[in-house]
Amino acid sequence: MKSPSLRVYAIAYLLFLYAPIILLPIFAFNDSKVVQFPLKGFTFEWFREMTEDAQLGIAVKNSLIIAFSSATLATTLGIFAARASTRFSFPAKGPIMGLIMLPMVLPEIIVAMSLLIVLLSMGVQLSLLTIIMGHVLICTPFAVAILSSAFQSLDKSLEEAAYDLGETPFSTFRLIILPLVLPGIISSFLICFTISIDEFIISNFLGSGEAVLSVYIFGQFRFPAKVPSMLALGTILVLLSIILLTIAEYFRRRGIARTGGKDTGGFL
């Protein structure tokens, strides 16, 4: 059953989805300070200008620190939550899991502002650490979602076999469970890393004004002269996130193959 009009619509829709990403490299290499047609010629000027930006260097370093710490912490908390919720039934399981997953359905501004009110009234100094605290909150639900499916597909009899052969719960976890869910852990880490690098609201409100990548980009787009070098930066970021996601997807698929499950779709 072929339907040409629907196919045309689908392709037009994809064009709409990809329009910004296609324009990004076109204007990043365009030899003009204003972003408009017709194109003026090829240049590396904007990439050069970008690498000479000292503020940007600091912002990248800070963002990497935040993303690495948040992804590590969120994945660790995710492992605890996913393991507990897939393997055990315990009192108040629903409310606890609901609370952990809540940031997924709560507008981010609420998470940021309520945390900010408490931190300010307790006299806590805002810093990279406070941003990390917030990012862990919003990354953990994604980590739990990814890791739950990894833990879910574990065969319980493998674990029981290990106990029968005299392993302790801890060594069973280390020798049997951990290697099997490792691909899930890696893909959870990469997803959390991407979310944290990208996140704006918490970085903006829970930061001390120290440069962070997303906040820096937000600020720079207000100056028309800075737009081309931001497009150059954007081109690099898009390339990096595509690479990270491809790696994450590879590990997720390998994880499913390893535990003998069936692939049921992508991340979302």
Partner 1 sequence: MDNNGLLARIRRSEGASGLAIISPSAIYVILLLAAPLATVLLFSVLTSERGQIVLDFSLANYETVFSHPVYKAIMLRSLTVSMLVTLATVLLAYPLAYYISFHVPAHRKSMWLFLVTLPFWTSYIIRVSLWRVILGYNGVIDSALMDLGLIGEPLNILSNGVASIVITLAHAYAPFAILPIFVALEKVDRSLLEAGQDLGESKLRTFWRVTLPLSMPGVIAAVLIVFIPTVGDYVTPELIGGGKVPMIANMIESQLLKQRDQALGSALSVTVMMIVAVVSIIFLLLNRRFLRGQK
Instruction: Give the range of 16-24, 41-49, 150-158, 181-189 binding partner 1 by CB under 8 A.
Output: 16-24
Q: Which two tokens stand for residue 24?
A: 């990004």
Site string for partner 1, 219-258 (x = CB under 8 A): --x-----x--xx--x--xx--xx--x---x---------
Instruction: Dump the DSSP string for 94-162.
Output: HHHHHHHHGGGTS-HHHHHHHHHHHHHHTTPPPSHHHHHHHHHHHHHHHHHHHHHHHHHTS-HHHHHHH
Fill in the per-residue mask, 24 to 63: x = in contact with partner 1 (CB under 8 A), - = not in contact: x--x------xxxxx-------------------------
Q: What CA–CA distance (Å, rounded) separates 219 from 86?
A: 43
Residue 109 binds partner 1 (CB under 8 A): yes
Helices of type H across the chain:
4-28, 45-51, 54-87, 93-101, 108-121, 128-152, 156-164, 169-172, 178-198, 201-205, 213-220, 227-258
Q: Which stretch binds partner 1 (CB under 8 A): 62-70, 134-142, 148-156, 160-168?
A: 134-142
Residue 206 CB, shortest distance to partner 1, in Å, is 11
Residue that has been written with the tokens 């574990």 in this structure: 154
**Residue 138 in contact with residue 103, Cβ under 8 Å?**
yes
Return the H-helix or E-strand segment holding 3.
Answer: none
Residue number with CB closer to partner 1 (87 or 174): 87
**Computed from CA positions of residues 69, 146, 81, 120, in that sequence, does the dihedral angle turn out positive or negative?**
positive
Q: Applying CB under 8 A, which part among 3-11, 51-59, 60-68, 158-166 lies near partner 1? A: 3-11
Taking CB under 8 A as the rule, does residue 14 contact partner 1? yes
Residues 194-213 that bind partner 1 (CB under 8 A): 194, 197-198, 200-201, 205
Tell me the sheet residues that pair with 30: 42
Site for partner 1 in 68-107 (CB under 8 A): 76-78, 80-81, 83-85, 87-91, 93, 96, 99-100, 102-103, 105-107
Closer residue to partner 1 (CB): 167 or 249: 249
CB atoms within 10 A of CB 224: 10
CB 40 within 8 A of CB 32: yes
Position 16 contacts partner 1 (CB under 8 A)? yes
Task: Give kind and range of the element (H or E) at residue 262.
Answer: none
- Using the rule CB under 8 A, give the single segment among 62-70, 152-160, 181-189, 192-200 that binds partner 1: 192-200
Rule CB under 8 A: is residue 117 a binding residue for partner 1?
yes
Q: Cα–Cα distance between 124 and 116 in angstroms, integer?
A: 9
**One of 133, 146, 176, 185 touching partner 1 (CB under 8 A):** 133
Q: Is residue 157 within the footprint of partner 1 (CB under 8 A)?
A: no
- The least CB distance from residue 161 to partner 1, in Å, is 19
